[in-house]
Structure 1
């Protein structure tokens, strides 16, 4: 019985070592190259989209600057989650950031800010 207790870890290591074949463990599975397939004959390319936003928190105040370098209008909205349970979280309205435009969004809590983020929505022209 004592011999089995001493050799059990060695036996377990050997089983784990040989349980997975060497080829499967050391080489990734080969994949097929990506094919270029058109969507139903539509040859339009997707245009880049989305304003680049920078959010800063200073005490209980939140300020975000969003710059849209693309042609499509991006409707941005500031969301503020407050730390205290009694403090009301806020979701700002949609503010359109047109091409080459920078917009400023502000929000606040009564006390500490837990998190703040920006959501984006594409505006159909």
Structure 2
């Protein structure tokens, strides 16, 4: 009877160890398969009627960024800045403005 308990305990331990190994391999392969974002990391801030974006590209590929500004007043035209190329390990700063207040500002990637 004692032998069967030892065998059962050994089988249980082997099953748990096997399950942990399969689970860790699955999570490692899922992390490796997940695509990295290929866009520059950008921060945007607004001060009064001025909008500024700061972008850094940590990737080996070139990214094109563009600052968009939506003005708060109906008579104030919205602005779409020029598209700028951000190479690998490069930093760019984009700026634009409205006559009065800014409703929102954002950066698009191409």
TM-score (normalizing by structure 2): 0.67
CA–CA distance in structure 1, aligned partners of residues 37 and 101 of structure 2: 36
Q: Which residue of 2 aligns with 1:94?
A: 83
Question: Which consecutive residues of structure 1, in runs of 5 or more, have no partner in the other structure?
Answer: 1-44
- Aligned-residue offset at 1:46: 5.5
Is 1:76 paired with 2:32?
A: no
The structure 2 residue matched to 1:117, chosen from 99, 106, 110, is 106
Q: Structure 1 or 2: larger helix share?
A: 2
Report deviation, 1:93: 1.2
What is the TM-score of this pair, normalised by structure 1? Answer: 0.59
For 1:114 and 1:61, how far apart are their aligned partners in 2? 11
- Residues of 2 paired with 1:112 and 1:47: CA distance? 36
* Alignment size in residue pairs: 77
Residue matched to 1:105 = 94
* CA RMSD in angstroms, aligned pairs only: 1.4
Matches of 2:66 and 2:89 in 1, distance apart? 18
**Runs of 4+ in structure 1 over 3 Å off:** 45-48
**Structure number with higher relative contact order (C-alpha < 8 Å, ≥ 6 residues apart):** 2
